[in-house]
């Protein structure tokens, strides 16, 4: 999980590669470069990740690009929101994530998703979690690893690991196929960090 501090370019490149791999299945430099121009999810995540750079000038440009893309794609994820490796924005539009939320590795966010809080902290979301379209996660709830949140669910209570939650208010049940919708999880098998 990202701490709220500045990151080196090597650390940022790992996050960018992980985001690109989740979207395209490719994490080499050429694949990332190509995806920046054709994949909105990768483009948004690229600038979001660079907002944590140690270098002031790079951080300054990244925050401007992040703000511009936030308006263009209707995505509101503050640059200081803690998000782990492999963020996947399914349809890269209409996503709102409160800056106090914490998202683990390999999280899928679908369109029209809101993760917020009326007061206090927002949700803590585990790793390999799929959040379907039109989901609202409200308040300081915990969503366990491998959980699936069905389309249109309103989550106001904790969801256990490897459970599926559906409905309004959402109710959980053990998942028959946990992590079914998590494609290209990071890190890929055989991956060595820093290569």
Residue 106 shares a structural domain with residue 174: yes
Look up the domain containing 116 and give its range.
79-178
What is the pLDDT, as a whole number, of residue 194?
65
Residue 136 shares a structural domain with residue 60: no
Say if 191 falls within a structural domain: no
pLDDT 10s digits, 126-178: 999 999 999 999 999 999 999 999 999 999 999 999 999 999 999 999 988 88
Say if 185 falls within a structural domain: no
Residue 172 shares a structural domain with residue 84: yes
> In Å, what is the CA distance from 47 to each residue of 6, 57, 61, 77, 108?
14, 13, 9, 11, 18
C-alpha torsion sign, points 102, 19, 164, 137 = positive
- Angle between helix 29-38 and helix 40-50 axes, rounded to 10 deg: 110
Q: For residue 92, name the pLDDT band (cuts at 50, 70, 90).
A: confident
What is the pLDDT, as a whole number, of residue 2?
46
d(CA 40, CA 42): 5
What is the pLDDT, as a whole number, of residue 195?
61
Residue 96 shares a structural domain with residue 164: yes
Say if 110 falls within a structural domain: yes
Residue 14 shares a structural domain with residue 97: no
Q: What is the CATH number of the domain that holds 93?
A: 2.160.10.10
Residue 47 shares a structural domain with residue 85: no
d(CA 34, CA 26): 10
Total number of domains in the chain:
2
Q: Is 7 helix (H, G, I), strand (E, B) or coil?
A: strand
Domain-terminating residue out of 73, 95, 124: 73
């Amino acid at each position: 999980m990202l701490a709220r501090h500045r990151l080196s370019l090597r650390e940022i490149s790992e996050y960018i590669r992980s985001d690109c791999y989740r979207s395209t299945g490719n994490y080499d430099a050429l694949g990332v470069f190509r995806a920046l121009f054709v994949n909105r999810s990768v483009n948004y995540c690229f600038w979001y990740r660079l907002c944590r750079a140690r270098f002031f000038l790079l951080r300054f440009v990244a925050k401007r690009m992040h703000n511009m893309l936030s308006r263009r794609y209707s995505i509101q994820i503050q640059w200081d929101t803690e998000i782990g490796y492999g963020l996947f924005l399914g349809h890269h539009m209409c996503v709102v994530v409160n800056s106090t939320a914490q998202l683990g590795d390999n999280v899928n966010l679908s369109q029209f998703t809101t993760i917020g809080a009326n007061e206090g902290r927002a949700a803590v979301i585990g790793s390999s979690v799929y959040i379907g379209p039109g989901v609202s996660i409200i308040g300081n709830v915990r969503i366990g690893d491998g959980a699936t949140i069905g389309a249109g669910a309103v989550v106001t209570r904790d969801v256990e690991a490897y459970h599926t939650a559906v409905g309004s208010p959402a109710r959980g049940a053990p998942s028959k196929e946990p992590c079914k919708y998590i494609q290209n999880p990071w890190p890929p098998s055989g991956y060595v960090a820093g290569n």
